[in-house]
A and B are shown apart, each in its own frame.
Chain A
Amino acid sequence: MITVEGLTRTYGSFTAVDDVSFACRPGRVTGFLGPNGAGKTTTMRILVGLTPATRGRATIGGHSYHDLRNPGRHVGVLLDASAQHGGRTGREILTLGATAMGLPKTRVDEMLHLVSLSAEESTRRLRHYSLGMKQRLGIAHALLGDPQVLILDEPANGLDPAGIRWMRGLLKGYSDRGGTVLLSSHLLHEVEQIADEMILIGHGRIVAQGDKKSLLESGRQTKQATTTVASLDQDRLAGALRDKGYAVTPGPNALTVACAAVDVGRVAAELQVVLTDLRSVEGGLEDLFLELTSSTQREMPAYQAQGYPPQGPPPGYPQQPPPAGYPGGPR
């Protein structure tokens, strides 16, 4: 439904979006994930024609946004909830949108009700709105024209926990009815729970994409297995594991071993050491996310200090030591 091909946007010598290609399908929520300044907002702005692309093409339902005759009826857009006139009331803002799109006035009340803005709140001016209220109004505005496609930039921004859960349900229901959703975030936990598909972007480039499962699997293949183990005789076990050639990092409660759980179990059985805890470390999406975007991250991720091969600092950033308390860092 949304197709992006080789999209590139440069500002002078800086490339904000670098040869990005992806597709969003109907009935699916696609999460657009990346650290600050990765190029998510820029990509979305190009999608709706607010920023011209330097190269490449972006279409929605086979059309460029510019050619949608009444785009509000097909594509709901929320890029920045505070980009509204502070002197207009929430109701007035929705009324302007509904008038332009050719919708009945009743639609405004329906949308206010949907996002739980009360009649009294809707007559307040936007500059007196809280962040979450602005966000709700923005979502109401995006849904005004009953669109088939939603493009939302950090929609959960400013919502309270109940509001985030509400929005998750809203988007789920929307995509179940066949709608296409593209939403961005830099919070993995948020996207993980809503999105069917994920696009990971860092420094303007897509570093990984796919559904949650395939992303995890691809991450597993590229990464060495890791196991944590606790036993009644840690020292003997550690020694035997080292003899086998596995890297062992002792911790306060458990050893971290760079091999599969089955190998640790075998060694323990040979030694007849009683194990109290044995688990293989599932990287999880968060590790994968941090790993894939680590070269684009502003901070060195903490997990790198725990035996993963550290990846260099992002180009242009000075080499910095790990934070205090981590091996190799200041004590």
Chain B
Amino acid sequence: MSTHAAPPPYSGPPTGPPTGPPSGPPSGPTAAHPAQTLDLSRTATIPLFRLVLVELRKSMNTLASFWLVVGIAILVVMVEGLLLVIVLVESSESTPGDYTVFATYITALALPVLAIMLVTTEWTQRTAMVTFSIEPRRSRVMLAKYLVCLVLTFAAVVLGVLVGFVCALICQVALPAETTWDFQAELIVGFFITQTLAMTLGFALAALLLNTPAAIVVFAVYRALPVAVFAIAASYLDWFADIRPWIDFEYAQGPLYDLSLSSAEEVGRLLVSGLIWLGLPLTFGLLRILRAEVK
């Protein structure tokens, strides 16, 4: 299994004088000239891509996140398989997009949870102490985590598209007449944007609450409850129906799904409602993390 020379079996700690940390590049000060100051000139800042790499690894290497990803993968395969069987049995028409939509909707359930866990586990498992002593500029760590969320979203969309094409290829072979290849790219781009917003919301709530279950519950409530309340309020109060588009983030996102966002007013609504529902929690959440005492 190992690519390295296996260390000798554990036989109690060495009793003789230890050799100390192995000497390699970067070497500490020599005994002859112990320096009173640290020379930072030969040390480079940790590049952002390396922080992203570490955070990406962290997002996958725990049991919880691993099984979340595996579970979603199994679910996608099962649902797409079922869909494929139905289409083949009934000789229905289909396009790659039909399959992609299903795959992306399923991954949309898991992605915000991954984003939430990436932030909250630093607190629930107290790893923030280590993370922030390796990179004390906490904003860079948070930026790296956010970039990981974007990477994961992008990967999910790409995989969804891939699944769509594979399924369509099978249909092409079995039902050449019923299968068309017009692929609606706007839907996919729109999905990527709205999914990114959902990820950002999960990220913001996680930063605000610093607790996994609480963040997941609030995230679910947050997405469902305001929409319902606004819809009911708007149907009873005429004046509310007028301002609703400006404060209802889900409503304002409507034109994003198919990239039909066109008027300045629609953009304005998106910005205003986004500021309220996304901007505020994100700001307070990040401030909390940047200033918190890490224990």
Contacts and interface: CB of A to CB of B under 8 A. Distances in A.
A96 B51 CA distance: 10
A324 interface: no
Contact of A178 (B7, B13, B31, B294): B31
Given A116-B14, A166-B15, A74 B63 contact: no
Interface residues of B, number: 66
A45 B130 CA distance: 11
A218 interface: no
Contact of B10 (A100, A117, A169): A117
Given A50-B129, A66-B136, A92-B61, A26 B20 contact: no
Interface in B31-72: 31-38, 40, 43-46, 50-51, 53-54, 57-58, 61-64
B263 interface: no
B268 interface: no
A70 B58 contact: no
A85 B127 contact: yes
Nearest to B23: A146
Contacts of B11: 116
Nearest to A46: B293
Contact of B40 (A63, A97, A166, A176): A63
Interface string A83-120: 11111100010011101111010110111111111110
A3 to B, nearest CB: 9
Interface size class of A (residues with CB under 8 A): 35 or more
Given A49-B136, A102-B46, A177-B28, A74 B38 contact: yes
A170 B46 contact: no
A51 B28 CA distance: 27
B19 interface: yes
Contacts of B10: 116-118, 121
B29 interface: yes
A207 to B, nearest CB: 26
Contacts of A169: 16-18
Which of A100, A117, A141 has most B Cβ within 10 Å?
A100
Contacts of B44: 69-70, 102
Contacts of A145: 26
Interface in B60-107: 61-64
Nearest to B293: A51
Given A96-B57, A110-B22, A119 B50 contact: no
B242 to A, nearest CB: 46
Given A26-B29, A119-B2, A100 B46 contact: yes
A179 B20 CA distance: 11
Interface string A133-164: 00000000101011111000000000000110
Given A1-B36, A146-B27, A69 B126 contact: no
Nearest to A108: B4
Given A80-B129, A173-B18, A96 B54 contact: yes
Interface string A57-70: 00011110110111
Contacts of A49: 132-133, 136
B136 A177 contact: no
Contacts of B135: 71, 100
A17 interface: no
Given A80-B126, A85-B62, A178-B31, 5 more contacts: A63-B38, A72-B134, A100-B135, A109-B4, A173-B20
Among all A-B residue pairs, the 5 with the closest Cβ atoms: A61-B38, A26-B34, A83-B126, A166-B13, A178-B29
Interface of B: 2, 4-24, 26-38, 40, 43-46, 50-51, 53-54, 57-58, 61-64, 121, 125-127, 129-130, 132-137, 291, 293-295
